[in-house]
């Protein structure tokens, strides 16, 4: 039976009972418009914890474009039904006024990773992400929190925050879930037209091509060819394609122990991101 809370106070009172029984809490933070990718995180949390808690909150502080915030899909009734179907234990869906006081200030020095890739195209985004995730971690104090690999850079940023603030929570990055045609699952996919969706497949196809043809000695040429493949697709406007060191997100080289390729592009009117871990 899904228990739903909208206030910090009521949630924390309930969680105190759970913690008194020494039960572990797995936390899946979301902005709603749930899909199978989110549900895979919840399923893993259920396997590894006594109690699973999902939050749904469209966080205004991580949007640098007011139009993007306004049109972000909000489907709380359908989301609640999905959570009930997968037997999630707790839903926390606070309002903005519950999460933020009027004149809050927040800045965490998370280093240069904040300003690379997504940070360059969405200035301030990761300050908003760390602000709200910090709030959730402090409200819930989960044992483990689960995030999708699709937001790879976000996972690095949150990991850095947890280290800086000495937060007692384990972070787990879960694999990207894809549609049958390869498109990475995203709440934003709802905005794609049929034509957009077909054009958007170039992102996953290019990442797969790179994974199949990867050669550490040939990174600049591979990066150039991948960008050309995406730029040749109608209706797709490339923001970046980077073959990066998995820890720093600087351009990878032969010395990089782990490598990830990351892409962001506007497909029609919808901005999509995707990535593949190569090594």
Residues identified as active-site: 38
Nearest 5°: CA angle at 202, between 158 and 40?
A: 45
Contact between residue 32 and residue 76 where contact means Cβ atoms under 8 Å apart: yes
Give the chain's length: 279
Distances from the Cα of 148 to the Cα of 12, 152, 184, 196, 248, angstroms: 25, 7, 11, 23, 18
Residues near 8 by beta carbon (within 8 Å), at least 6 away in sequence: 94, 98, 139
CA distance 76 to 93: 9
Residues near 70 by beta carbon (within 8 Å), at least 6 away in sequence: none
With 0-12 / 13-18 / 19 or more C-beta atoms within 10 angstroms meaning exposed / middle / buried, residue 215 is: exposed
Q: Which phi and psi angles does 159 have, rounded to 5°?
A: -60, -40
Assign 269 to helix, strand or coil. coil
Count of CA atoms in the C-beta half-sphere (13 A) of 143: 15
Among 266, 263, 151, residue whose Cα is nearest residue 199: 266
What is the DSSP-derived secondary structure letter of residue 251? B
246 alpha carbon, distance to own chain's centre: 16
Contact between residue 94 and residue 8 where contact means Cβ atoms under 8 Å apart: yes
Which tokens hold the place of 279? 């090594």
């Amino acid at each position: 039976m899904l228990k739903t809370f909208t206030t910090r106070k009521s949630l924390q009172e309930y969680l105190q009972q759970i913690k008194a029984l020494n039960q572990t809490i797995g936390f899946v933070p979301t902005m709603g418009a749930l899909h199978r990718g989110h549900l895979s995180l919840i399923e893993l949390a259920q396997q590894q914890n006594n109690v699973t808690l999902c939050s749904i909150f469209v966080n205004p502080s991580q949007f640098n474009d007011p139009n993007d915030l306004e049109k972000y899909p909000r489907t709380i009734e359908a989301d609640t039904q999905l959570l009930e179907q997968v037997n999630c234990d707790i839903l926390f869906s606070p309002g903005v006024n519950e999460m933020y006081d009027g004149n809050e200030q927040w800045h965490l020095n998370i280093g240069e990773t904040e300003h690379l890739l997504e940070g360059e195209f969405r200035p301030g985004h990761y300050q908003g992400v760390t602000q709200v995730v910090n709030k959730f971690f402090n409200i819930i104090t989960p044992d483990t929190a689960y995030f999708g690999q699709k937001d790879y850079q976000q996972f690095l940023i949150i990991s850095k925050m947890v280290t800086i603030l000495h937060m007692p929570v384990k972070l787990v990055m879960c694999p990207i879930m894809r549609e049958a045609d390869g498109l990475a699952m995203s709440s934003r996919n709802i905005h794609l037209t049929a034509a957009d969706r077909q054009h958007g497949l170039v992102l996953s196809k290019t990442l797969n091509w790179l994974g199949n043809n990867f050669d550490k000695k040939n990174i600049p040429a591979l990066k150039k060819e991948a960008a050309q493949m995406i730029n040749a697709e109608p209706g797709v406007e490339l923001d970046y394609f980077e073959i990066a060191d998995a820890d720093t997100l600087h351009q990878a080289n032969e010395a990089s122990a782990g490598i990830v390729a990351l892409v962001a592009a506007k497909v029609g009117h919808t901005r999509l991101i995707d990535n593949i871990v190569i090594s």
